[in-house]
Structure 1
Amino acid sequence: MRFHIFALGLAMFAHAAPALAQDAPARDAPVRDEFFWLGEINKATAVINTEEGLLDKAMAPRITAGIVKVLEDGAKPGAKRPSTVITFEPLLIAAAGEDVTLLHAGRSSQDMHATYRAAILRDDMLALADQLSRTTATLVGLAEKHVDTIVPNYTNGVAAQPNSFGHYLLGHAAGLERDAQRIREAYARIDRSAMGTTVLNGTSWPLNRARMADYLGFAATVDNAYDAAQISSMEQPVEAGGIVTSIALHAGNFVEDIMTQYAQARPWILLQEGDGNTYVSSAMPQKRNPGLLNSTRRDASTAISLAMGVAIQAHNITPGMGDPKEVKPNSAMVRSGIAVLRNWDRILKGMVISPDRALEELNSDWTASQELADVLMRKYKLPFRVGHHFASDVVSYAKDKDIKPLDFPYAEARRIYAEAVKGSDYPAELPMSEAEFRSTLDPIAIIRNRASAGGPQPAEMQRMLGEARQRNAQQAEWIKEKRARITSSLVRLDGDFQKLQAKAP
């Protein structure tokens, strides 16, 4: 099953490959794949074990030369880059002789593979965080432009209440902020080195695990040796899959909300034509199909499928099995989330909003009717359910007579109110004046008069916009800091490895 889903994921990425290339830390940086990290682990082992007396210094020249040769050969165009310890080590032996296996003191493919998987997933999660931050910035920027754009919002697929479009967008941004939190929390659990735990119970060699972790850019070590490769290494991709799923669900919700507009003859929100956003029907000249919406929804479904595949593979197997650990499908799964976010960003930049058409739609329906009940309760102490009954009767009468909110006769409102409170102790006359009745049904006034925290009123919008921008800026700084730590650690390792080479006679 996972193979089939993975194949779907690879097909999806085939058309997105040029865009995904920008996720690399730098254009001229080496590919940080399994081969790369096996090389870094061997370099760090050579430095640490030589300096700490676990490896005879006389062996350093041959060993370092062998490591360099293997890495240089692997960097050549079209060269093979082995991804496992048992395929990498023969290259070292060929380059430096059997003595090079002295590097293997206290090591196992279990802890080495667990370490490079964590390192690669760590890079993938930073790439996901980076695109999440970019998409969030676009979302918040669009929200700022549409603070005063009043639109209908929908519940149960039906127009429900008026809202600021900016407020609606900030709601989606809040969802992405939680995804950003999840990435940071998961990253802290992934950013730990398994090196030195060997298979599952450590080693008799007094390895400097903390120094190894630091050279490889990890913030800490996995404390329990059994946990390192048997437990945490299996759960890491599952946790990443949960984050990808959340992102895909958020994107899918947004896409489907916009898709409902395409069923209308006169939508208030569309995609700008061209630039791959829409395409013309092959048979019906009037149609402008929302291709970008369709492909983003498809990509979100693919991302969820890939994420579910990890959980299914990790289910009902003994600890340490390799089923859910493979780098390629797990990287593809994370990158599927990146592709969804990137397309969501394109949607946001390609949307065309018609404030006048949105307001027209609001005024053609009774999405403001709840406000009648709210005002009657807040200002005139009428129980909400009584006011709700009155407002519901107004709507029923209006729909039966095809009367729009702005045209509803005030005299009929008074009559319906009197019938609603008949036989009760409440005032028989509608306490609202005609002017107040009209303003209560005005969507713009409703938004302006909201008073609760987190609402769409201007003051709250400015507060939430400011906080959203600040949180996203902090996220961008966090990404920069984590990438810088990894880079500086690897630079320091290269420097110390070169010093070890230089000491060779």
Structure 2
Amino acid sequence: MAKLWSGRFQKDTDRLMDDFHSSISFDSRLYKYDITGSIAHAKMLARVGIISDREAGAIIDGLSGILEDIEAGRVEFSVAAEDIHMNMEQLLIDRIGDVGKKLHTARSRNDQVALDVRMYLRDEIDETGQLLAKLTGVLLDVAEQHLDTVMPGYTHLQRAQPITLAHHLLAYCQMFERDRQRLADCRRRVNVLPLGAGALAGTTFPLDREYVARELGFDAVTENSLDAVSDRDFAVEFAAAASLIMVHLSRFCEEIILWSSAEFGFIELDDAYSTGSSMMPQKKNPDVAELIRGKSGRVFGDLTALLTMLKGLPLAYNKDMQEDKEALFDAVDTVKKCLLIFQPLVATMRVRKENMARAARGGFTNATDLADYLVQQGVPFREAHAIVGRAVAYCLEHNKALDELSLEVLRDFSPVINEDVYEAIGVSRCVAARNVIGGPAPEAVQKAIRAAREKLDG
């Protein structure tokens, strides 16, 4: 097959070159956007008098028929045609004849591919945002069931202070809400029309770029033709946002892996989202969480690939930029798959409240509350801190918890301690007392859940 660009060449490209050069194996997924963009371009060409209305109608009908055939599985793309753009143009010419050759007037594959990728990514951002919203909704549902489920909060993976499972889950809701905001912000920069920039220097034809922007739902048009065809910042931005989503998922998965172990015993994962061992019959493995944790590295790699591909490129378009698609597509696919399966993983896990409560009572998680009690009795905090530290050392030596010490022993550490200390350092009381905005008290968490739902509904 003769290439549509082969006029100045004296011989065909080698088959090895065709295979190496072609991108149709992965950019074929852009077919819908390529057709949609081409239809808008044809309408604009007719609108400004570059082609006739009859010619535009034939092109639009031909492209619509190709779209229908692709979605029905009746089209086989050609490696020799290199990419989705040349495949579509060749299919159109084969279908409607020489009129199809007029479609590419006043555009280049450089601005065409930039358009297709932006339209594709715009839709994928919307879908990813919806998946994040659904996951947040699942977490809020689970949180509402566990407002009073006390568990230890950790620093340095050491038991620190008592919180609730609901409060813990809402921390991830905050992360995923920031992820949604980042995607929405990224979308604003994605939603700028590059078509009309040509190969790099625009065109001599009187294009109506604003019309095309309106037709395709873009908020603005690019303001510099060189930048329009060489910009992939928006792809990097998405990959960075996707990487942060994967960071948050991976951190959550690490906790799920720990919590489902016998050493923690905080949760049990549903059989439908677990696997067994080929050798050890007793095993129940958290493979979903482990795979998500592992797949985070893929998305980080996609981000690095995009950054590295771009870092040494002179203006404007360079063939290196063909490498943007596989990295971008992989980041999109990976983050969406992980968000999709993580929803039922969390929704179906069984919480072992007793084990969480038992862990919260251990490790002196109420030590800070004892120090706060002393401060309320007039003891300076730094002195109170030292007093409680000595009390903890005593407990460790005698294998006791703070609330198991007699009042007489407690008063040996500080004479200001009274009988009401036991209420102050009870684990549930420690949680309930932290009734501040952002705190773990059930009342504060319930308000936070309502606020989070309002953001989702908004």
The TM-score normalised by the length of structure 2 is 0.86
C-alpha change, 1:383 and 1:322, in structure 2 (3 Å) is farther
Higher relative contact order (CA 8 A, sep 6+): 1
Cα offset for 1:32?
Answer: 9.3
- 3-state SS of the aligned residue for 2:176? helix
C-alpha change, 1:80 and 1:458, in structure 2 (3 Å) is same
Q: What are the superposed Cα offsets for residues 437-488 of structure 1, whole Å, 9 maximum, x if unpaired?
A: 21222110011111432112233222211110011122xxxxxxxxxxxxxx
Cα offset for 1:266?
Answer: 5.8
Matches for 1:385-400 after TM superposition, within 5 Å: 385-400=382-397
Number of corresponding residues: 426
C-alpha change, 1:299 and 1:343, in structure 2 (3 Å) is farther
- Indicate which of 401, 409, 413 corresponds to 1:416: 413
User: Counterparts of 1:286 and 1:65 in 2: how far apart (Å)?
Assistant: 62
Deviates more, 1:129-138 or 1:67-76: 67-76
Contact 1:448 1:458 in 2 (8 A): yes
C-alpha change, 1:206 and 1:465, in structure 2 (3 Å) is same
Contact 2:140 2:170 in 1 (8 A): yes
Cα offset for 1:119?
Answer: 0.7
User: Counterparts of 2:266 and 2:55 in 1: how far apart (Å)?
Assistant: 73
Taking only the aligned residue pairs, the percentage that are identical comes to: 24
- Indicate which of 326, 330, 333 corresponds to 2:331: 333
| Counterpart in the other structure of 2:24 | none
Gaps of 5+ in 1: 1-30, 418-428, 475-505
| Counterpart in the other structure of 1:372 | 370
- Indicate which of 36, 46, 54 corresponds to 2:50: 54
Answer yes or no: is 1:41 the counterpart of 2:37: yes
User: Counterparts of 1:355 and 1:98 in 2: how far apart (Å)?
Assistant: 72
Cα offset for 1:148?
Answer: 1.1
Contact 1:398 1:404 in 2 (8 A): yes
Answer yes or no: is 1:450 the counterpart of 2:450: no
| Counterpart in the other structure of 2:422 | 438
- Indicate which of 438, 444, 447 corresponds to 1:460: 444
| Counterpart in the other structure of 2:251 | 253
Contact 1:146 1:165 in 2 (8 A): yes
Answer yes or no: is 1:177 the counterpart of 2:181: no
Cα offset for 1:301?
Answer: 3.0
Deviates more, 1:282-291 or 1:151-160: 282-291
RMSD: 2.4
Answer yes or no: is 1:113 the counterpart of 2:113: yes
Contact 2:295 2:334 in 1 (8 A): yes
Q: What are the superposed Cα offsets for residues 175-231 of structure 1, whole Å, 9 maximum, x if unpaired?
A: 000000001000111112111111223222111111112222323222322221112
Matches for 1:172-321 after TM superposition, within 5 Å: 172-231=172-231, 234-265=232-263, 267-272=265-270, 274-275=271-272, 277-319=273-315, 320-321=317-318
| Counterpart in the other structure of 1:426 | none
Q: What are the superposed Cα offsets for residues 222-251 of structure 1, whole Å, 9 maximum, x if unpaired?
A: 2322221112xx112111111111111111
- 3-state SS of the aligned residue for 2:159? strand
Contact 2:411 2:417 in 1 (8 A): no
Answer yes or no: is 1:403 the counterpart of 2:400: yes
| Counterpart in the other structure of 2:14 | none
User: Counterparts of 1:329 and 1:186 in 2: how far apart (Å)?
Assistant: 17
Cα offset for 1:322?
Answer: 4.5
- 3-state SS of the aligned residue for 1:214? helix
Gaps of 5+ in 2: 1-26
Q: What are the superposed Cα offsets for residues 412-446 of structure 1, whole Å, 9 maximum, x if unpaired?
A: 222123xxxxxxxxxxx2x2213x22122211001
Letter paired with 1:317: L
- 3-state SS of the aligned residue for 2:103? helix
